[in-house]
């Protein structure tokens, strides 16, 4: 995981299984644009997704179920995809501002990470309220 990637764990009560959670996220993200979605048994992958931010992320939601305690845990990771653009901006910032331009670029990228994390947590809270 990189410095600007999103990762968190959330305990859920999945009564109907993973498919209900995956369908909820699929419907939420397919409202605006058409993304490449890959659903497997315990995971959901969405490529080049904008999570309420300017930067694009690769979203991966993996679920694991504890049958003894009848609980599930969702592991949500979002990997930053726009690293080439950020690298070009950093090189230009070093060349033209003697390195001081890196600070706003890093602050912007970190703010985008915070914004994406907040967006994903709000979606999970919306899902929990529909259960």
| C-alpha distance across the termini of the chain, in Å | 31
Tokens 């501002």, residue located: 97
Contact 78, 58 (CB under 8 A): yes
Q: How many CA atoms lie within 13 A of 45 on its CB side?
A: 5
| Domains with residue ranges and CATH for the chain | 6-130 (3.30.530)
Per cent of the chain over pLDDT 90 is 40
Answer whether residue 106 shows pLDDT above 90: yes
pLDDT tens by residue, 33-55: 777 788 888 888 988 888 888 89
| C-beta of residue 20 within 8 angstroms of C-beta of residue 14 | yes
């Amino acid at each position: 995981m990189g410095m600007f990637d999103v990762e968190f764990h959330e305990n859920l009560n999945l009564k109907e299984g993973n498919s209900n959670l995956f369908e909820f996220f699929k419907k939420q993200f397919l409202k605006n644009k058409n993304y490449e979605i890959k659903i497997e048994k315990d995971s959901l992958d969405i490529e080049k997704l904008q999570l309420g931010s300017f930067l694009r992320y690769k979203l991966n939601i993996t679920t694991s179920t504890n049958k003894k305690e009848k609980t599930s845990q969702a592991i949500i990771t979002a990997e930053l995809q726009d690293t080439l653009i950020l690298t070009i901006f950093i090189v230009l910032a070093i060349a033209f501002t003697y390195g001081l331009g890196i600070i706003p670029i890093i602050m912007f990228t970190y703010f985008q990470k915070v914004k994406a994390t907040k967006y994903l947590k709000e979606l999970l809270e919306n899902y929990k309220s529909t259960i």
